[in-house]
Amino acid sequence: MVQPFRTGEALMIYDSACWAGLTFRYDRERHHIRMLAPEPLQMLSSAPYAGGSTVADHIVNVYVTKDYNRPDPIQHLESEIIAWGYPLDQTVGLLTAAKLTHASLAEAEGDQARIVVCTTAGTSNAARAGRARETFAAYAPGTINTIVAVDGRLAPAALVGAIITATEAKAAALQDLGITDPQDGDVATGTTTDTVVLAVSQSARYGAEHLYAGSATTLGNLLGRLVYDTVYEAVRTQGEA
């Protein structure tokens, strides 16, 4: 795993070593990280812009301040995507108040798949799911944003399973780091505003389709370890310059 954007340059690009053509670009002046895929990917996400199930080749993770309170964040993201020249119908958009410079990336090639993960994280609003707490109806910017890009073929059940495994890995990293919910001091399972994006090539280059993606499958085990590592590093270094 690496944090390639901490050098302070205004424009930095990370090229995947295992998935040719997959890139992450950090633009300091325009306050976002863009993932660009070499082909359209099947997306399943909780992203505020173009979330749910869609097909896209761009993902943007956009920095906003912690007091962000726009009445229509979807319209805000749409206007930014247009201004930056990205295709609206091929872009999934995220918001975060975490440090983009501290994004953590990890990648590996495994059984009938290549996986690249990018996480940005801040835990000022850490929370434990399943506890009664103050709630709100308005959208707030995501704090732990994880992009999981998979070059491989996943069945519908595996798509959902991969999201579950990524979420479990995130919770495990927070537990091992001792991150707690400030409301009651219990170990946090995430923050109140996390987002995950699963982006899958579904490429015919692979002869086998992954039917499941639980933590004991070859796909899920690798995916979970990469998510764990990136969440751990991004959270551990969030207070560093």
Residue 95 has pLDDT above 80, yes or no: yes
User: 10 Å Cβ neighbour count for 207?
Assistant: 7
> What is the spatial distance between Cα 16 and Cα 211, in angstroms, rounded to a whole number?
25
pLDDT band for position 222 (50/70/90)? Answer: very high
Q: What tokens appear for 190 in the block? A: 């995430």
Per-residue confidence at 47, pLDDT binned at 50, 70, 90? very high
Buried b or exposed e, range 216-228, using 16+ CB within 10 angstroms = ebebbbbbbbbbb
**pLDDT at res. 69:** 84
For 153, residues 6+ apart whose C-beta sits below 8 A from its C-beta are 112, 200, 201, 202, 203, 204, 206, 208, 209, 210
Percent of the chain's residues with pLDDT above 70: 97
Nearest to 122 by CA among 22, 237, 241, 29: 237
The pLDDT-based confidence of 20 (bands split at 50, 70, 90) is very high
Residue 239, token pair as written in the block: 């207070």
Domain boundaries, the chain: 11-236
- pLDDT of res. 66: 87
The answer to whether the beta carbons of residues 179 and 235 sit under 8 Å apart is yes
Q: How confident is the model at residue 87 (pLDDT cuts 50, 70, 90)?
A: very high
pTM for this structure? 0.96
Radius of gyration of the chain (CA): 17
- For 203, phi and psi rounded to 5 degrees? -70, 140
Residues 11 and 1: their CA atoms lie apart, in Å, by 20
* Span 161-184, average pLDDT: 97
Contacts of 71 (CB under 8 A, 6+ apart): none
The model's pLDDT over 173-220, given as tens digits with 9 standing for 90+, comes to 999 999 999 989 999 999 999 999 999 999 999 999 999 999 999 999
> Does residue 229 surpass a pLDDT of 90?
yes
Q: What 3-state class would DSSP assign to 117?
A: strand
Residue 138, pLDDT > 70, answer no
DSSP state letter for 198: E
Pair of tokens at residue 156 = 């519908």
Q: Under a CB-based contact definition with an 8 Å cutoff, are residues 68 and 62 in contact?
A: no
Which are the contacts of 185, defined by CB distance < 8 A and separation ≥ 6? none
For 33-42, 62-71, 91-100, which range has the lowest pLDDT when averaged over its residues? 62-71
More confident residue, 123 or 140: 123
126-127 and 113-121 beta bridge pairing: unpaired
Q: What is the CATH number assigned to the segment(s) 11-236?
A: 3.60.70
State the Cα–Cα distance between residues 182 and 186, nearest whole angstrom.
Answer: 8
Q: Helix (H, G, I), strand (E, B), or coil: what is residue 11? A: strand
Q: Give the separation between CA 105 and CA 193, rounded to whole angstroms.
A: 21
- Structure confidence at residue 106 (pLDDT): 98
